[in-house]
Amino acid sequence: MGDFVHDVSFKYSVPLIALDFIDAMTGSELLQDLHKAFFPKKILCKFNGEDPDFLELRHSVDKNTLSHVFSIFNKLSMLSEE
């Protein structure tokens, strides 16, 4: 039993061979469905610099404040490279 537990992948809390067997016997795609549930796709939205709400907010920010914010972001980006 120890070898079985060590050598068999329990990726979805059961041996993958059991899921493969269920798929083969039933014609289902249980393994793919589990993979989608465990690892959902990430939806990324592209930033729209022409959005009227963003432009209004951008114009309301003081230029001096904006330069400080950019400076902070630049310093933060350098921290991740170290």
Q: How much is the pLDDT for 68?
A: 83
pTM (predicted TM-score): 0.35
Q: What is the 3-state secondary structure (H, E, C) of 61-77?
A: CCHHHHHHHHHHHHHHH
Tens-digit pLDDT profile for residues 42-63: 777 787 888 898 888 888 888 7
Low-confidence ranges of the chain (pLDDT < 50): 82
Does residue 30 form part of some domain? yes
Same domain, 7 and 30: yes
Q: How much is the pLDDT for 24?
A: 83
The domain total for the chain is 2
Does residue 69 form part of some domain? yes
Number of residues written out for the chain: 82
Interatomic CA distance for residues 27 and 8, integer angstroms: 23
Domain that holds residue 28: 2-38
